[in-house]
Structure 1
Amino acid sequence: MKEWPERSRPPTSAAWNVTMVAAAVATALCCALKLWSDVTMFADQESWLPLGLLIAVPVVVWFVLIAVGRVRYAGRWRLGLLVPLCVVATVVLAGFSVPGRIGWLLTRSEMERAAAECDTLQSERSDGSYRSRTVGVYDFHHVESGPGGECEFFLSTHYPGVRSGFLYLPNGAAPVSDLDHEYVRLGGSWYYFKA
């Protein structure tokens, strides 16, 4: 492939620009989907693989466009920054649980009220099945109360494969993470857990 000197390179074509914007928009949508899943699940680790596979298509298109732009066009780098910026921002935000913390802040007052009514929210039916509950941005498979005022809210997604949710411990000692259970302190008597 012949590389043209920078002065004689034409500006990027309209087709290249449109395809680059389409790749950036598709990447941004995949990243937004990941961030939203973290808002509604606090830390949805299960979405990394399917969204990673989905995002591979626009990233491959982006990579091909960057290669073509490097060889063929002048001034191609600015528009090409959109895709890596989306991906890096998503990884950093998800890595520091920023979307999960935002979801928690949006729902905390409703969760406080739900924890106060935990006994009435406990959702096991007489036939042994569960009744789901929605509190704020979260959908719960079921809610369980404990003898000391504890309340566990089990998130619906991936249930029963991944058991995660929120734990309210008003009088108990802070839970300790181990190999089977991870706890993240959310402030006050609240914890996010993943088993």
Structure 2
Amino acid sequence: MLISVSSTATARRTPSWFVLWMGLLTALILLCCLALFWQLAAEGTFPLEVVLWLAIGVLGAVALLFGLVGLLRYRAFFYSLISPVIIGVFVVLVWQNVPETTGWKLSRDILQTQAADCANPGHRTRLGVYTITFITRRDGGCLFYTQGTETNSSRGFAYFPNAAPPYIGTPTSGIGYEPFHGNWYRFTEES
């Protein structure tokens, strides 16, 4: 006599609405992360960065809520965990300054070429990933002003091929330089 043992607990199939909803949330989160990566790499505007961080936070919270439902009700591990993993990886990349480093690596050569002439084009221009608002010679170097995030200060990159700039440190008024990469410095100019 054969005894058949049947499982009383049958696995629930993940509903298609859940798969589509989590796919949409994941796509939106990925799109916001990519847009914020670009903004951080290109030193974009502060308000847009804030909006993108908020969007990632809100979408992440919604994805986490539905992900918990998916884990508990449908045992849908992949669909439930993909969004938090994407956000986690993105936060680690930002923490390690990967967007800023990527922006610099993509822009360094063209900035180096432009620093030889140090000529202001007379209008906003894009050099590499950076939007440059003004180029000028100052303190023995070539300064590239990037689009600023604050109204009372300007910032950018400075190239000093022969000697260090006259003032290293944060300015109380005027301009201050910080070592960046080789003959390149970051500067902040208080107005």
- Measured against the shorter chain, the TM-score band is 0.7 to 0.9
Instruction: Give the whole-Å Cα distance in 2 for the aligned partners of 1:161 and 1:122.
Output: 24
Deviation at 1:133, TM superposition (A): 2.6
RMSD, aligned α-carbons: 2.9
Deviation at 1:166, TM superposition (A): 0.9
1:166 maps to amino acid: F
Structure 2: gaps of 5 or more residues: 1-7
Is the contact between residue 122 and residue 145 of structure 1 (CA under 8 Å) also seen in structure 2? no
Corresponding residue for residue 159 of structure 2: 168
1:33 maps to amino acid: A
Query: Is the alpha carbon distance of 1:64 and 1:46 closer, same or farther for their aligned partners in structure 2, counting shifts above 3 Å?
Result: same
Query: Alignment identity in percent?
Result: 25
Corresponding residue for residue 26 of structure 2: 24
Equivalent position to 1:188, from 157, 164, 182: 182
Deviation per CA, 1:99-149: give whole Å up to 9, x if none.
22122112211111111111x2274xxxxxxx323212211111221142x
Deviation at 1:158, TM superposition (A): 3.5
1:176 maps to amino acid: I
Is the contact between residue 132 and residue 145 of structure 2 (CA under 8 Å) also seen in structure 1? yes
SS where residue 14 of structure 2 aligns?
Answer: coil
Instruction: Give the whole-Å Cα distance in 2 for the aligned partners of 1:175 and 1:94.
Output: 29
Corresponding residue for residue 4 of structure 2: none
Deviation per CA, 1:14-59: give whole Å up to 9, x if none.
1111111111111111110111112212x87655421122123322
Query: Are 1:88 and 2:79 counterparts?
Result: no
Deviation at 1:177, TM superposition (A): 3.6
The 5-angstrom pairing of residues 34-73 of structure 1 reads 34-41=36-43, 47-73=48-74
Is the contact between residue 155 and residue 187 of structure 2 (CA under 8 Å) also seen in structure 1? yes
Instruction: Give the whole-Å Cα distance in 2 for the aligned partners of 1:48 and 1:188.
Output: 29
SS where residue 104 of structure 1 aligns?
Answer: helix
**Which structure is higher in RCO with an 8 Å CA cutoff and minimum separation 6?**
1
Query: Are 1:143 and 2:142 counterparts?
Result: no
Is the contact between residue 141 and residue 159 of structure 1 (CA under 8 Å) also seen in structure 2? no
Deviation at 1:155, TM superposition (A): 1.0
Structure 1: gaps of 5 or more residues: 1-5, 124-130
Aligned residues: 179
Deviation at 1:182, TM superposition (A): 8.2
TM-score by length of 2: 0.78
Is the contact between residue 67 and residue 81 of structure 2 (CA under 8 Å) also seen in structure 1? no
Instruction: Give the whole-Å Cα distance in 1 for the aligned partners of 2:177 and 2:79.
Output: 41
Equivalent position to 2:144, from 146, 153, 172: 153
Instruction: Give the whole-Å Cα distance in 2 for the aligned partners of 1:78 and 1:38.
Output: 29
1:112 maps to amino acid: Q
Is the contact between residue 114 and residue 121 of structure 1 (CA under 8 Å) also seen in structure 2? no
TM-score by length of 1: 0.77
SS where residue 134 of structure 2 aligns?
Answer: strand
